[in-house]
Amino acid sequence: MLVDTIVQKSGIKSTDTILEIGPGTGNLTKKLLEAGKLVIAVEVDPRMVLELQRRFQGTPHSSRLKVIQGDVLKTELPYFDLCVANIPYQISSPLTFKLLNHQPAFRKNKTLGAIFRQKNVLSLLEKNYKTLQALNLSVGNKDAEMGSSRLGNANEVETMEMDDDDDEDGGADDEMDVEDGDAEGETSEFKNKVLAVLKEGNFEEKRSSKLKLEEFLYLLSLFNRAGIHFS
Ligand SMILES: C[S@@+](CC[C@H](N)C(=O)[O-])C[C@H]1O[C@@H](n2cnc3c(N)ncnc32)[C@H](O)[C@@H]1O
């Protein structure tokens, strides 16, 4: 089943308690409960909450289901071993960020500086960063092609200026950096980029458990501005 696959890949030791975000009418919830899990479901839509309660009330599983009605971004999350979610795209970044910073509930009350130095966190972020860079490059190249075909050969100077702009914006040069850089150099370069964002907002020594929602969102905006995304 899906959860077992996730567990195998992630190396998580225990999956007794599952946080399910956006359970809707509860199709996955049912499977999780049937697999003997304790499910904490966070659902914003009151109609879905009623449906969930109606569906599992009086069944042998009801004692292992807790439903929390509310916006997951504004809800204080309980302890859980594994989180599953099927949620709208718009909230996936802030949610991933919230979950990344939910670590005090498991592991220690680490500073953000310590959390963002962890290899698994850095490698996830770097993967997203490179995907976005590649997408931007391909969109940039398409725009440049369309631009030069619009200008045609009649205005060579304009076309050359446009090429220069591309270089300044990190177009072709960046692509070469990505291809030519050695793996370790790139990783520490990316780590420095992440730490620079934390320093910019004065977040490095702050503890995630003490942050307010506004501070989370501000930090998220700083990361996004630097091209660093969480999903
Ligand atoms: C794509 S549906 C998932 C449906 C469900 N997995 C199923 O199979 O029936 C997304 C669900 O996320 C819920 N949702 C959207 N935003 C949410 C939020 N901020 N907090 C909690 N739940 C949310 C919606 O109400 C909806 O039930």
**pLDDT tens column, 20-66:** 999 999 999 999 999 889 999 999 999 999 999 999 999 999 999 99
**Average model confidence (pLDDT) for the chain?**
77
Select from 86, 91, 92 the residue to mutate for testing ligand 1; criterion: most ligand atoms less than 8 Å from CB.
Answer: 86
CA 76 – CA 80 distance, rounded (Å)? 12
15-24, 162-171, 210-219: which range is least confident on average? 162-171
Per-residue pLDDT band at 3 (split at 50, 70, 90): low
φ, ψ at 192 (rounded to 5°): -60, -35
Torsion of CA 75, 45, 91, 110, to 10 degrees: 20
What's the pTM? 0.55
Q: What SS3 class is residue 67?
A: strand
Interval between CA 102 and ligand 1 midpoint (Å): 20
Pocket of ligand 1 (CB under 6 A): 21-25, 27-28, 42-45, 48, 71-73, 86-88, 91
Enumerate residues 6+ apart whose C-beta is below 8 A from 112: 101, 198, 203, 204, 205, 206, 207, 208, 219
Domain ranges of the chain: 2-100, 112-225
Per-residue pLDDT band at 82 (split at 50, 70, 90): confident
Q: Which residue has the tokens 């795209």?
A: 89
Quote the crossing angle between the two packed helices 119-151 and 183-200, to the nearest 10°.
90
Enumerate residues 6+ apart whose C-beta is below 8 A from 30: 55, 56, 61
Interval between CA 203 and ligand 1 midpoint (Å): 31
Class of domain 2-100: alpha beta
